[in-house]
Amino acid sequence: MATSSCSFPSAPLSTSLNQFLAQRFGTKEDLSKSSYIEHELSVGCADLEATLSDLDRRLSETISVYSSRSDEVEEHLRGIKQGLVVLKSSITNPVHEENEEILAEELPALAKEVARVETIRAYAETALKLNGLIGDVEDSVSSSVAEKLKSSSYSVNSERNHQKAISSLKEIESILTSIAKTRPHWTCLVSAVDNRVDRALAVLRPQSISEHRSLLTSLGWPPPLSGSNLMNTSNSIPTEFSNPLFSLKGDLKTKYSESFLSLCNLQELQRRRKCRQLEGHNFELIRPPLWVIEELVNPISILTERHFSKWSDKPEFVFALVYKITRDFVDSMDEILQPLVDKANLVGYSCREEWIGGTVTSLCTYLSKEIFPKYIEALEKGGSDEISSNARTLWLNLVDLMISFDKRTQQLISDTGLLLSLKEDENLQRVSSLSVFCDRPDWLEIWAEIEKFEVLEKLKPAIGKDKNWSSVVSDENKAPAVSGAVVKSLSLLIDRARPLPSVMLRARFIRLTCGPVISEFIDCMVHRCQEAEGLTALTDDDALLKVVRSINAAQYFESTLVEWCEDLFFLDMESLSEETGGECIFHEEISKIKEFRIEWVEKISTVILRGFDSRTRDYVKNKRQWREKMEGYAVSRTFLDSLDYVQGKLSKLEEGLNASDFVTVWRGVANGIDQLIFNGVLLGGAKFNDCGVERLDVDLSVLFGVFKAWCLRPEGFFAKVHEGLRILKIDEIDIRNGLLRDKEKWFKEKGFRRLTLTEADRLVKYRVFEG
């Protein structure tokens, strides 16, 4: 049987078309689906035509912009060409002087015009390039948003769009940075670009963070906390939390690394933009926390608050849980995340430090919202002494927990050699739970008030016991034990201030606590001295000893405070003019103690001089003794008793008073005796013959001998009396010759330095020469 065949116009088909037909029409049943395939192809063609139309429109706009600019550039170039033709003709015809003059005048304008054209060309090229880059960013962001609308989970395509947008943004920022340095007057262009970039970033950053969070959730972050044996005190080795970061492998690890790097690159881009925008302004860029670490900390913080709510009366559990979380995950920050941060070129960031800072910040937030308000309310409601005491105890216990927690968490940083980065107050605040006081200085004042109250309550019984004033804590300064107790209490208060994460806070705390304690101790010493003075006017040895012990306590206390002020811990505070006025933080207290010492040392000297004066009154009034002729003269009994009184008083003071203040006392007494004898005896109107001068010499030798126990050359401390005796010893001929010559010159030649010329004249008149 013959077979008939139909012939179709044949044409060669492409390989892709053959593959498409083979896939779609593999069997006869597939022919029934041809209408659907036709519809699908029609829709696809329509989308491609729309895309092609959009591209054609954008190309036309770009060409139009370029054409308008090129016409303008062409016109300027034509003008330059004409100028060059004129220049050439003027060169080829040098005989025309007028052309040369015109050319000389036009050259600067021509050069200026060339520069302007070049600037316009550079501006146009830069604007076109930036416009294209921003268009790429906006397209990538739009595509990413479309992907997000289709699927709320992590998408590889969306992540690639983010990376493409960030890459374009980096290039844009590099161009803008170059413009800011080389073309600072292009402010309108920079502002327009920044506005469009800000709009893109307003969408890009939240979307990137949202997708990163979705990825973290798919990884199993945060890990469950229920498996912890934290509260099981019988278990010496508590179970560690499972760490999903260590279980990352294969495709999952790649996705997390890409998302991590995208966020890091985006943060670095933001940092560069802020630096450029703030350049030239007096603003210091504060380093923000690392976004990727924040995304790890925040979900764990939310999870831990459920446990915290059960432990409102047991804050030690709260600190223990936060520390355990911080410690168990900190190694993964170094091993897994730090290499990624380094790869993103985020300079100055430590994942370990950021992780610890994030967990500490979450703890501070909880303390500020939940714990401290309750404790303050308890303090305000404390009606009875017992309730108030319990409230203060709870507060101090909480601070103890915070200090202990900070030491352990900061040890996690110092163990890796990162301690140097924590010397800055700003960095230290991020890893210290005591930073809650930075935002609430009123809470710091409450804490300082409690600490001051507790210290004074313990010191008052010790200060009130006479036994503590009689026993000596330092043989060198002869300081009573009570001064050692006060210094110890101040040391404890200073140690409480050391962990505070700010120099300002430390200075404020010390002013609020140590200042009142020192003032209380000074008032106590003043009261004891005034009490002793009021009873016996310090003539009694017991009363004098009471004052001496207070002076010793003050001297030891002052030297301790001065020594503290030389420590680096206190030197840092001198720059705080608000708290210290540029001086040592204890400058005011040291001045008060010094004034107290000076006042009462002078009073002791005055008491001794008053006794000496009353005992030598007859000796001074007896003016005849200096003209009497006596053989084998002995020291006046009255004068000898007076010196014995002075020697006895000073000897007792030497035993009880500290060496520094004792020197001040005996020198003050010596100066007073010098004035008394000089004014009362030498200038008292008495006439001195040879025997009188000899008698005075013997008396003064005994006086100098008394004070020789405390100095090698006592005559130097009785300057007026000693020089007055020297004038009286000068022979008659020498005096007459000196009076006939220049008195002042003769006076200086004799080496008199402490006496005035008038005083010397009076002494000469009182000298009587016999025979």
Residue 108: CB atoms within 10 A of its CB come to 9
Mean pLDDT, 10 residues at a time, the chain of 771 residues: 38 61 70 70 73 70 64 67 61 50 64 79 87 88 74 65 88 90 88 90 89 89 67 45 83 89 92 86 76 93 87 90 92 90 87 92 93 90 71 93 94 70 66 92 94 93 88 81 94 95 92 94 94 85 92 94 92 74 86 95 94 92 85 79 94 93 95 94 90 90 93 92 90 75 75 83 85 57
DSSP code at position 2: -
Q: Among all chains, which residue has been given the structure tokens 């005083």?
A: 759
Integer Cα distance of 651 and 482 in angstroms:
25
**485: which 2 tokens?**
């107790």
Cis peptide bond N-terminal to 222, omega within 30: yes
Cβ distance 294 to 312 under 8 Å?
A: no
For the chain, residues classed under CATH 1.20.58.1970 are 616-766
Q: Among all chains, which residue has been given the structure tokens 């603003």?
A: 283
Integer Cα distance of 544 and 551 in angstroms:
11
CATH fold of the domain at 616-766? Methane Monooxygenase Hydroxylase; Chain G, domain 1 (1.20.58)
In DSSP terms, 480 is beta-bridged to 472
Q: At residue 140, what is the residue type?
A: S
Burial 452-479 (b: 16+ CB within 10 A, else e): bebbbeebeebbeeeebbeebbbeebbb
DSSP code at position 730: S
**763: which 2 tokens?**
């002494």
pLDDT of 450: 94
Tell me the CA distances in angstroms from 286 to 269, 426, 645, 676, one per residue in order: 15, 9, 72, 71
pLDDT of 747: 77
Question: Element (H or E) spanning 55, and its range?
Answer: helix 34-92
**316: which 2 tokens?**
């030690």
Cα 354–chain centre separation: 20
In DSSP terms, 688 is beta-bridged to 767
Integer Cα distance of 193 and 196 in angstroms:
5
3-state secondary structure of 284: coil
Domain spanning 443-603, CATH architecture:
Orthogonal Bundle (1.10)
pTM of the full structure: 0.76
Integer Cα distance of 277 and 279 in angstroms:
6
Burial 146-169 (b: 16+ CB within 10 A, else e): ebbeeeeebbeebbbbbbbbbbbb
Cβ distance 308 to 370 under 8 Å?
A: yes
Counts of helices then strands in the chain (DSSP H, E): 30, 2
For the chain, residues classed under CATH 1.10.357 are 443-603
pLDDT of 751: 77
pLDDT of 70: 61
